[in-house]
Structures are given as structure tokens and as C-alpha cells.
């Protein structure tokens, strides 16, 4: 939250982002939902590293071209923010942080105050693969077990699944995504029995056969521009739009959480907590990542030249060897990503989530030592053992005090002083 204060002394990064985002939301109130979804799709694929922003080139398809992310928008808002920040504070503010701040500010406009803290200091990744989207983002037709499992691989818990699904209190979807629920749920021309029959009829009137895939639907009926707890009221009346929404009532524990979240004050507080946790998924900091100058182009020198040229749709001057250099580089990164890098990211993700939890709850995470590792090998006390660092002892190496303001918020030293 203070990460950019000293690095961009001429401007306030957070104010700049807020001013631009609020002006966009004033011009188009649907933008709040777009920016919130953009952040979610960024974080669930390769962590919150701005990888969704990278444009595809030639035969390299990136995240934004993959089916589940094809309807994601808001990239032009991120571009405008980036342009403004590069003009006054070049190559300092990461695209990943801009996405996280923009999502918070877009939702917050309605309340004219910050709805959750955004930790800053994320760096940008330079890999974006369309093939990684489908496996990482839950489908609208997923059952509860699948959705929970997918959230758990991101270090999130059942409470986060239910709470973050409440993001569907704003925004729209399309008839194509619910037509099966309305017309042919089990293949015999029936509707999903878990959907309220009156609501199903209303939806059929909006989405008549033959279903027009481009017809839009509010996800939270009559309240899709207002960020409130009405999604949970509708859900509890069996008016959740997707199978994945309705599935929250299929599990006793999540159904109970969905009951409690009908209270606005509970929903807002829990949503803030879960957004902080989502914003910490597989975050890369310091020299693990880079800061892009243009959020659509990776920093990698050769790749950047390639991408720039690709934008002009002229590949003619690239020698075959140069193309090879680029593609072998991509393959190298892909291989890395699927083995060592994945392990490293997994360990970081767990550690950072713990740091955040402990930062918020004022406690120091327990350190791994022979005694507690012995205890955990015999009796697995779930909360305690899960909170141990993945490998011993990961005490943070702190920079000298005068450099602490350059430390990302995700640093344990900073996290201990942050409260939500």
C-alpha cells in the first residue's frame, strides 16, 4: 500500500489509478464488473502477474484468447492507467498491481471509499498461455467439489469460494451459458430442477429458442449494477444463474456460509478479506518478475521486438533464426513453468498466503524446527501444521531500514504492520 510512495514521489500512484477508474465507471457503470472479473481471471491463471494482459502474436495464443477469458474486457482502462503512470513514474508500477488496484477502485466507486486494502509490489510475468486458462478457471457448469478443488489449488478455502462467488452481485452473462439449464439439463428437454421454476420461466423469456448467444443476462436479477449482498438472497431463493452458483447450496457447509452472507455487513467484510487473499495468489516480487512498459507486451527483449513487429503485422524482416530464438525461448519458459517454476511458485504461494494471514492477525508464523516438524509428522494438527513454512526456516532477509520503503507490501516485515 505504501510501496510506490517513495518510488514515485511526483505523483500518488493510488490516486492516479482511482481517478482514472472512477472516471471510467462514471462514464460506464458496467465497468466495475469488467475490472473485477479481469483481476479474478488474472490471478487464477499463473497468479496475479498481469499475464492476462499480454496480447497474442502470430502462432502464440495468450490467455485472453482462450474461451473462458474471451469475454473479459477492461484492457483499455488498464492501458490508460499505464500510460498515465509511465508518463510520470516510468517503469515502476507493475501491470499486475494496476489490475488489482483498478478492481478495488471500480467496486469502491459506489461507496466512495476503499472497500479493501490492496497490497502492492507485485511484478509482472512475461508468460501467457491460452492452454492454461481452461484448467485453472472453474466452468459455469462445474459442481461444488470441482469448484472447491480449483480454489484450493490456489490456496483458497471454502469460505473464499462462497464469498468470492458473491462477485456475481454485479455484471452480466450470456444466454448461451445457461441454455442447457433452461432447456435440456439432462438431455430429455428438461430444466435444472435446482433452479426456481418461476425464475427459470423468466430466463426462458429473455433467452427464447433458438438461443441467441449474444443476448445478455443480469447475473443478480434487477441489481446487477449494485454491489450488495442481494446475490446471496437470490441464491438462497434458488435463483443463482450458473450451475456453479447453485452448487454452493449443494454442500452443507457452503450453504450455511451463503446464509450468513445475506447480511451486507458480513458480506462486505468477508469479501474484503477474500479479495486480499485472491490478490496474493502466486504473486511474484522483486527480481522474480519485471515491470512492463506496455501491459500488452512482455519485457523480454527479443520477445518485445517480436511482439512490437507483430502488432504491425509485418514479420518479413525476421530471420528464421530470430524466430527460432523466440520460439525456443518460449518453449524454454514453458518447460520451466511446468516443472521447477511450478514447484517454486507453489511454495511461494503457500508462504505468501500464510504471511498475509499472519500479517492480518498480528502473529508471527511459526517457524519450522525439529520439534514442531516432529510433532507434525506424528499428529497432524491441521491449522498449526499447515501454517508451518514449506521448508525450513524461511526467515525473511530484510533490507537495511532506510530501504524498507522499497520492499513490496507482500514482504513479511510489511505485512505484520498491515491490518484489515
Closest distance to ligand HEM from the beta carbon of 100 (Å):
11
**294 with 53: CB under 8 angstroms?**
no
Cα(138)–Cα(68) distance, rounded to whole angstroms?
Answer: 9
Closest distance to ligand HEM from the beta carbon of 172 (Å):
4
> Binding pattern to ligand HEM, positions 222-251, x when CB under 6 A?
--------------------x-x-------
Closest distance to ligand HEM from the beta carbon of 70 (Å):
8
Categorise residue 408: left if φ over 0, alpha if ψ from -120 to 50, beta otherwise: beta
**279 with 119: CB under 8 angstroms?**
yes
Long-range contacts of 386-389 (CB under 8 A, 24+ apart): 387/354, 387/357, 387/358, 389/351, 389/354, 389/365
- Contact segment (CB under 6 A) with ligand HEM among 1-9, 132-140, 299-307, 346-354 equals 132-140
The verdict on 173 binding ligand HEM (CB under 6 A) reads yes
Handedness of CA 390, 51, 309, 81 (dihedral sign): negative
Using CB under 6 A as the binding criterion, the count of chain residues that bind ligand HEM stands at 23
- Contact segment (CB under 6 A) with ligand HEM among 121-129, 136-144, 322-330, 403-411 equals 136-144
Cα(122)–Cα(96) distance, rounded to whole angstroms?
Answer: 6
Comparing CB distances to ligand HEM, the nearer of 245 and 294 is 245
Residue closest to ligand HEM, measured at CB: 171
The yes-or-no answer on residue 333 being catalytic is no
> Binding pattern to ligand HEM, positions 102-121, x when CB under 6 A?
--------------------
The residue among 294, 315, 313, 317 whose CA lies nearest residue 304 is 294
For residues 19-48, which are near ligand HEM according to CB under 6 A? 33-34, 36-37, 40
Encode 224-289 in three state secondary structure: CCCCCCHHHHHHHCCCCCCHHHHHHHCCHHHHHHHHHCCCHHHHHHHHHHHHHHHCCCCCCCHHHC
List 7, 23, 28, 71, residue binding ligand HEM (CB under 6 A): 71
Q: How far is CA 409 from CA 2, 119, 125, 396, in A?
A: 7, 5, 18, 13
Cα(251)–Cα(152) distance, rounded to whole angstroms?
Answer: 16
Strand partners, 290: 124
Comparing CB distances to ligand HEM, the nearer of 147 and 246 is 147
Cα(53)–Cα(369) distance, rounded to whole angstroms?
Answer: 41
Closest distance to ligand HEM from the beta carbon of 277 (Å):
11
List 171, 279, 289, 359, residue binding ligand HEM (CB under 6 A): 171
Closest distance to ligand HEM from the beta carbon of 36 (Å):
4
For residues 358-417, which are near ligand HEM according to CB under 6 A? none
Closest distance to ligand HEM from the beta carbon of 274 (Å):
8
Closest distance to ligand HEM from the beta carbon of 150 (Å):
8
Q: How far is CA 276 from CA 99, 220, 232, in A?
A: 13, 23, 21
How many residues are listed for the chain in this entry?
420
Residues ≥6 apart with Cβ < 8 Å to 420: 116, 117, 272, 273, 276, 360
How many angstroms from the chain centroid is the CA of residue 320?
A: 37
Look up residue 368 and give its DSSP letter.
P
Comparing CB distances to ligand HEM, the nearer of 16 and 230 is 230
For residues 138-167, which are near ligand HEM according to CB under 6 A? 138-140, 142, 147, 164-165, 167
- Contact segment (CB under 6 A) with ligand HEM among 87-95, 172-180, 194-202, 299-307 equals 172-180
The verdict on 172 binding ligand HEM (CB under 6 A) reads yes
List 170, 178, 303, 353, residue binding ligand HEM (CB under 6 A): 170
Of these residues, 41, 238, 300, 411, which one is catalytic?
A: 41
Catalytic residues: 41
Residues that bind ligand HEM (CB under 6 A): 33-34, 36-37, 40, 71, 138-140, 142, 147, 164-165, 167-168, 170-174, 177, 242, 244
Amino acid at each position: 500500500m505504501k510501496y510506490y510512495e517513495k518510488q514515485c514521489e511526483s505523483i500518488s500512484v493510488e490516486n492516479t489509478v482511482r481517478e482514472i477508474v472512477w472516471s471510467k465507471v462514471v462514464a460506464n457503470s458496467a465497468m466495475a464488473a469488467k475490472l473485477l472479473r479481469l483481476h479474478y481471471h488474472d490471478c487464477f491463471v499463473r497468479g496475479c502477474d498481469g499475464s492476462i494482459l499480454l496480447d497474442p502474436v502470430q502462432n502464440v495464443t495468450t490467455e485472453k484468447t482462450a474461451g473462458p477469458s474471451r469475454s473479459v474486457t477492461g484492457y483499455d482502462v488498464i492501458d490508460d492507467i499505464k500510460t498515465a503512470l509511465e508518463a510520470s513514474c516510468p517503469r515502476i508500477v507493475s501491470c499486475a498491481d494496476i489490475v488489482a488496484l483498478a478492481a478495488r477502485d471500480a467496486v469502491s466507486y459506489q461507496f466512495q471509499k476503499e472497500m479493501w486494502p490492496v497490497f502492492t509490489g507485485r511484478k509482472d510475468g512475461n508468460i501467457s498461455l491460452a492452454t492454461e486458462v481452461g484448467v485453472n478457471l472453474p466452468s459455469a457448469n462445474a459442481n461444488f467439489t470441482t469448484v472447491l478443488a480449483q480454489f484450493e489449488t490456489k490456496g483458497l478455502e471454502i469460505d473464499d469460494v462462497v464469498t468470492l462467488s458473491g462477485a456475481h452481485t454485479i455484471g452480466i452473462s450470456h444466454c448461451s451459458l445457461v441454455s442447457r439449464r433452461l432447456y435440456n439439463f439432462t438431455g430429455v428437454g428438461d430444466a435444472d430442477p435446482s433452479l426456481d421454476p418461476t425464475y427459470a420461466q423468466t430466463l426462458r423469456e429473455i433467452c427464447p429458442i433458438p438461443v441467441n448467444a449474444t443476448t445478455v443476462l443480469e447475473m443478480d436479477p434487477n441489481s446487477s449494477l449494485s454491489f450488495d449482498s442481494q446475490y446471496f438472497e437470490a441464491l438462497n431463493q434458488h435463483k443463482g444463474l450458473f450451475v456453479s452458483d447453485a452448487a454452493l447450496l449443494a454442500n452443507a457447509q457452503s450453504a450455511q456460509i451463503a446464509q450468513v452472507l445475506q447480511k451486507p455487513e458480513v458480506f462486505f467484510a468477508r469479501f474484503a478479506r477474500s479479495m486480499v487473499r485472491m490478490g496474493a495468489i502466486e504473486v511474484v516480487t522483486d527480481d522474480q518478475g519485471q515491470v512492463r512498459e506496455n501491459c500488452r507486451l512482455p519485457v523480454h527483449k527479443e520477445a518485445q521486438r517480436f511482439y512490437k513487429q507483430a502488432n504491425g503485422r509485418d514479420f518479413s524482416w525476421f530471420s528464421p533464426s530470430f524466430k527460432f530464438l523466440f520460439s525456443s525461448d518460449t518453449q524454454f519458459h514453458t518447460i520451466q513453468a511446468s516443472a521447477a517454476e511450478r514447484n517454486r511458485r507453489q511454495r511461494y504461494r503457500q508462504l505468501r498466503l500464510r504471511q498475509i494471514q499472519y500479517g492480518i492477525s498480528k502473529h508471527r508464523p511459526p517457524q519450522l524446527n525439529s520439534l514442531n516438524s516432529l510433532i507434525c509428522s506424528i499428529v497432524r494438527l491441521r491449522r498449526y501444521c499447515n501454517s508451518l513454512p514449506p521448508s525450513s526456516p524461511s526467515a525473511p532477509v530484510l533490507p537495511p531500514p532506510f530501504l524498507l520503503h522499497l520492499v513490496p507490501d507482500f514482504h513479511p516485515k510489511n505485512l505484520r504492520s498491515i491490518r484489515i
